[in-house]
Structure 1
Amino acid sequence: MEKSLLSDISAAGGEKPVLILDFGSQYTHLITRRIRQLSILTVCINGTCPLAVIAALNPRVIILSGGPHSVHADGAPSFADGFLHYAEENGVPVLGICYGMQLLVQKLGGEVSIGVKHEYGKMEIAVVDESGFFGPEASRGHQTVWMSHGDEAIRLPEGFKVVARSVQGSVAAIEHPSKRFYGLQYHPEVTHSPKGMELLRHFLIDICGVPAEWKMEDVLEEQIKYVKSLVGPDDHVICGLSGGVDSTVAAMLVHKAIGDRLHCLFIDNGLLRFKERERVMACFKNDLHLPVTCTDASEQFLKKLKGVKDPERKRKIIGEEFIRVFEDFAPKVESKVGKRPAFLLQGTLYPDVIESCPPPGSGRTHSHTIKSHHNVGGLPHRMNLKLIEPLKLLFKDEVRRLGKILNVSESFLKRHPFPGPGLAVRVLGDVTEGNALNILREVDEIFIQAIKDAGLYDIIWQAFAVFLPVRSVGVQGDQRTHANAVVLRAITSEDGMTADWYYFDHKFLVDVVSKICNQVRGVNRVCQDITSKPPATVEWE
């Protein structure tokens, strides 16, 4: 397990990351994003992982995340025995955020109690003592921060001092400069703490001396070395190309590393968008110059999905069928090149791993599985191919930057994300019932084309339609109808981890709804999804 994580980090372009120990906060991976925006490699692992894992990663700085627990609760998560001694002996700075600060205070002999004044949301704090932590510009000024805590520190461990308090008098920031231990009761990583990025930059670069040197060029170089070390000189690799940015960038990267020993397969699983197969294959051939084999496995997938309504079962079935198609493809490659492929390349991203399963580095976590992505939690336990996932420590925007270096066309890199399970997770319920897939394809095509015509495609992160398993009464052509309802969803985001809905002009929505109801037989009601993430996810299933 430690070896796997070390390989992932090395392949991401560095060996001494800023390490985040995750104790279950909804904001933990936002810390990762913010620090990477400073050009610093950051990796998140389970907060309860063994000390040996932490030591093997050789971190420059360790951040203890927030979490939903109380340090007084039975079974409350904590770092490994010996962690604080390790950090002090090795001169590794430690920053505790919210629950992480309370844990730091408690473990060092201070006192944390159930707060009388619970603090949630925006709050004013004041710097009350000289602090290298806040930097000279902060002096004793006030600033707005985002609080989310019930417990509070009421007695600090020996050698610590309070450097900031909330307007209600609660401890907001503490530090022990000689030990290089620091704590914040608020969340600097969220945009509701306007000076949070400034503080993180000052802490990591000025106080801790972390160089801002993490570049995508280094990631590419390290990834190529990693792939070459993993794939033997006579080994071959199968790549499942979906037509999306992630799998394409992964394919371009591995093709650069091993050349023609990469064999790409595009699978028509019957769950593609309108004319997706024709459009994608033309792009591979004309723009990317990747040799790709196309196979029609739609009957195989749809037969397995018949009658299945549970979204997790859909994802598991689709994940398994993809692997079976790849395994059937392997003998064909063998007959051509004389050796059966041993590896399967996938464009798995960091958000896929985060939402599907515990962070790497430990057997258990204090975060919940959101959904099983078909290429992570949806994979079958029995596989005859070893996985290569060169992008699994990267976010979507980082993959796009990597693709730009690999000369993937700008128009392709800006394509909206499309889920691996395809329209199976956009048709709610049984995808084989009635004409659901065809109706959804037509609705989606009208919606996306309207967005392109309005010049909004590059502004919106992702847009799509959803087919609902309900029928509604309507009137069309002066006659009563009992037809299908669909939903339109469009979001803005940086990385897909959080998102807000896009505010369309009223006339745009009127025109789109009119086109859908007039042109798509079987639809008489169109709704718009105006829910952010959280509380919703991007996709409906």
Structure 2
Amino acid sequence: IANEVIGEMNLKPEEVFLAQGTLRPDLIESASLVASGKAELIKTHHNDTELIRKLREEGKVIEPLKDFHKDEVRILGRELGLPEELVSRHPFPGPGLAIRVICAEEPYICKDFPETNNILKIVADFSASVKKGDCRSYSYVCGISSKDEPDWESLIFLARLIPRMCHNINRVVYIFGPPVKEPPTDVTPTFLTTGVLSTLRQADFEAHNILRESGYAGKISQMPVILTPLHFDRDPLQKQPSCQRSVVIRTFITSDFMTGIPATPGNEIPVEVVLKMVTEIKKIPGISRIMYDLTSKPPGTTEWE
């Protein structure tokens, strides 16, 4: 694509430079030699691909922020006199939030799925494990639901405990609503189509609008809203096809984005604010359930990609 644009603009490739806002955590997580010769790959960033690395070696990449963490960049922004709403703005990753859609055509269920579920049922009232990647490089997501009102402190404790007991789990969520009787074992086919992206953007708008109105936007470092291909509450005897999707709210508090914790409802964020998000997002057509990410970093990442 870059070469096509360069050609359309009648530019000479050897005279083109790439300027990008790479931050230090991007280089660390993608195991770039720019950051460290010993770092292990956590995930690949779009601003540190093989092409970018080749251009760096040729001296064609300009990255004025590559030595800074996000909190330091915000300090720079304030010193430059930029508006606070711009400096403190939560990320809106491109293209158009597409990175926050968990795409799937079929479920990823490895041979350890039943065993993992049996272990989790001993730990919590209900646990559903759903694969978000393949058996070689990704881990299960554990979902907890209950007939009682959520005890957020206990849920946060479970979210810390479960990944230590089950090493094939690196993320724990709470599922709002009544207890989930039948964990979904299939998925709603989900791709980056106009309708799917529109659904996610509506959910993202509702959640962030409520957060801003509450006055807590500045206290939450980042709040990814994730669209997953899960359709709950279907009677398996009726063989109803999976056609809806579920949303995850990921409130994240950190100073450097290398490590962090979820915002505990009732402590770092009012329970009423979270419940209002759930109510408004549930009104969006095609939404099955709302979930709340309870995972610290590590073992989870800030985003879900």
- Please, what TM-score do these two structures have when normalized by structure 2? 0.60
Change (3 A) 1:361 1:455: closer
Q: Aligned with 1:527: secondary structure?
A: strand
Per the TM alignment, residue 471 of structure 1 is displaced from its structure 2 partner at its CA by: 2.0
Uncovered stretches (5+) of structure 2, i.e. residues with no partner: 104-189
Matches within 5 A, 1:15-414: 321=1, 323-324=2-3, 327-328=6-7, 330-331=9-10, 342-360=16-34, 364-365=37-38, 367-377=39-49, 379=51, 386-414=60-88
Is residue 524 of structure 1 aligned with residue 285 of structure 2?
no
Per the TM alignment, residue 459 of structure 1 is displaced from its structure 2 partner at its CA by: 0.8
Q: Aligned with 1:411: secondary structure?
A: helix
The residue identity in structure 2 corresponding to 1:529 is: D
The answer to which structure has the higher strand fraction is: 1
Q: Aligned with 2:248: secondary structure?
A: strand
Q: Which residue of 2 aligns with 1:428?
A: 102
Is residue 512 of structure 1 aligned with residue 186 of structure 2?
no
Per the TM alignment, residue 422 of structure 1 is displaced from its structure 2 partner at its CA by: 5.2
Per the TM alignment, residue 359 of structure 1 is displaced from its structure 2 partner at its CA by: 4.1
Q: Aligned with 1:462: secondary structure?
A: coil
Any idea what the Cα deviations from partners look like across 1:342-372, whole Å, max 9, x if unmatched? 322111111111011244387x52x311111
The counterpart of 1:499, out of the listed 255, 260, 266, is 260
C-alpha distance in 2, partners of 1:526/1:533? 21
Q: Aligned with 1:458: secondary structure?
A: helix
The residue identity in structure 2 corresponding to 1:373 is: H
Is residue 438 of structure 1 aligned with residue 110 of structure 2?
no
Per the TM alignment, residue 532 of structure 1 is displaced from its structure 2 partner at its CA by: 0.7
Structure ranking higher on relative contact order (CA contacts 8 Å, 6+ apart): 2
Per the TM alignment, residue 492 of structure 1 is displaced from its structure 2 partner at its CA by: 0.8
Q: Which residue of 1 aligns with 2:217?
A: 457
Any idea what the Cα deviations from partners look like across 1:466-517, whole Å, max 9, x if unmatched? 0112222369xxxx99521111111111121111111233222222211111
Choose 1 or 2 for highest CA Rg: 1
Q: Which residue of 1 aligns with 2:166?
A: none
Please say if residues 224 and 303 of structure 2, whose CA atoms lie closer than 8 Å, have aligned partners that are also in contact.
no
Q: Which residue of 2 aligns with 1:469?
A: 229
Per the TM alignment, residue 399 of structure 1 is displaced from its structure 2 partner at its CA by: 1.1
Please say if residues 98 and 192 of structure 2, whose CA atoms lie closer than 8 Å, have aligned partners that are also in contact.
no
Please say if residues 474 and 524 of structure 1, whose CA atoms lie closer than 8 Å, have aligned partners that are also in contact.
no
The residue identity in structure 2 corresponding to 1:454 is: S
Q: Which residue of 1 aligns with 2:251?
A: 490
Please say if residues 246 and 288 of structure 2, whose CA atoms lie closer than 8 Å, have aligned partners that are also in contact.
yes
The residue identity in structure 1 corresponding to 2:99 is: V
Per the TM alignment, residue 379 of structure 1 is displaced from its structure 2 partner at its CA by: 3.9
The residue identity in structure 2 corresponding to 1:393 is: D
Q: Aligned with 1:375: secondary structure?
A: helix
Change (3 A) 1:389 1:380: closer
C-alpha distance in 1, partners of 2:206/2:47? 29
Change (3 A) 1:392 1:465: same
Q: Aligned with 2:217: secondary structure?
A: coil
Alignment coverage as a number of residue pairs? 208
Any idea what the Cα deviations from partners look like across 1:327-351, whole Å, max 9, x if unmatched? 356537x8xxxx9953221111111
Q: Which residue of 2 aligns with 1:71?
A: none
Q: Aligned with 1:401: secondary structure?
A: helix
Q: Which residue of 2 aligns with 1:162?
A: none
Per the TM alignment, residue 410 of structure 1 is displaced from its structure 2 partner at its CA by: 1.6
Q: Which residue of 2 aligns with 1:311?
A: none
Please say if residues 32 and 48 of structure 2, whose CA atoms lie closer than 8 Å, have aligned partners that are also in contact.
no
C-alpha distance in 2, partners of 1:513/1:361? 39
C-alpha distance in 2, partners of 1:378/1:468? 29
- Please, what TM-score do these two structures have when normalized by structure 1? 0.35
C-alpha distance in 1, partners of 2:64/2:30? 17
Q: Aligned with 1:348: secondary structure?
A: coil
C-alpha distance in 2, partners of 1:433/1:472? 22
The residue identity in structure 2 corresponding to 1:467 is: L
Any idea what the Cα deviations from partners look like across 1:511-533, whole Å, max 9, x if unmatched? 22111112x11102100101010
C-alpha distance in 1, partners of 2:234/2:275? 17
The residue identity in structure 2 corresponding to 1:513 is: V
Any idea what the Cα deviations from partners look like across 1:101-160, whole Å, max 9, x if unmatched? xxxxxxxxxxxxxxxxxxxxxxxxxxxxxxxxxxxxxxxxxxxxxxxxxxxxxxxxxxxx
The residue identity in structure 1 corresponding to 2:263 is: Y
The residue identity in structure 1 corresponding to 2:92 is: F
